[in-house]
Amino acid sequence: MENDDQLYINRCLEGDREAFRELVIRYQSRVLSIIGRMVRDREMARDLAQEVFVKAYTKLSSYDSRFAFKVWILRIATYHTIDYLRRRRPEFPVAQDLDGGCPSVIDRAHSRVPSPEEALLQSEQADLVAEAVRKLDPKLRAVVILRHFEELNYDEIADALDIPMGTVKNRLFRAREKLQKLMTQNSMNLQEVVS
């Protein structure tokens, strides 16, 4: 598929605008997914995704074909969203369903249909995880989303964010530590409410 990407890129650079449309179709769901998980607002995610593709189109001549187009477009999406979050810093809704359902780690662990009690617990835990991820610094949030939700490997994350592998590992370590603290805090707060 990456060879096809290069063909579309070449056609686009020669003036064929429809060729870029094919790249958008190929990568719009991944771009929207990353942005959506970072901003937790469906409409804003769509607006930002559109801005990302406009930016990619205007900067296509600077694309380095040594890297996969997927990595390049995800880098643009991630940094564009981080810039947006830095400028805005609002409180985002946590429980909004962005793509028909965001499977949590717990959802993946259970292959059977959960009981109503289990479903409620899973939903509450998924909300706690989403809340904790939302509270992370945008740079830490980006590596968590790319690794655990988009399932990119460390090399792909390093390429997507244009940072060294050691920085990826360091940010993931710091993010996981912070998430653990936030989850413990959120869990205690939930227990106080229930008691």
The span from the CA of 41 to the CA of 9, in Å, is: 30
Decide: residue 71, CB within 10 A, 0-12 exposed, 13-18 middle, 19+ buried.
buried
The pLDDT assigned to 100 comes to 41
The pLDDT assigned to 120 comes to 55
The span from the CA of 150 to the CA of 144, in Å, is: 9
Cβ pair 111, 39 in contact under 8 A: no
SS3 163: coil
Written as tens digits, the pLDDT of the chain (195 aa) is 556 899 999 999 998 888 999 999 999 999 999 998 888 888 999 999 999 999 999 999 999 888 889 989 999 999 999 889 888 754 444 333 444 444 434 344 434 455 555 655 566 666 677 778 888 888 998 898 888 888 888 988 888 888 999 999 999 999 989 888 887 776 655 555 444
CB neighbour list of residue 187: distance below 8 Å, 6 or more residues apart: 128
Query: In the CATH hierarchy, which fold is given to the domain comprising 2-194?
Result: Rna Polymerase Sigma Factor; Chain: A (1.10.1740)
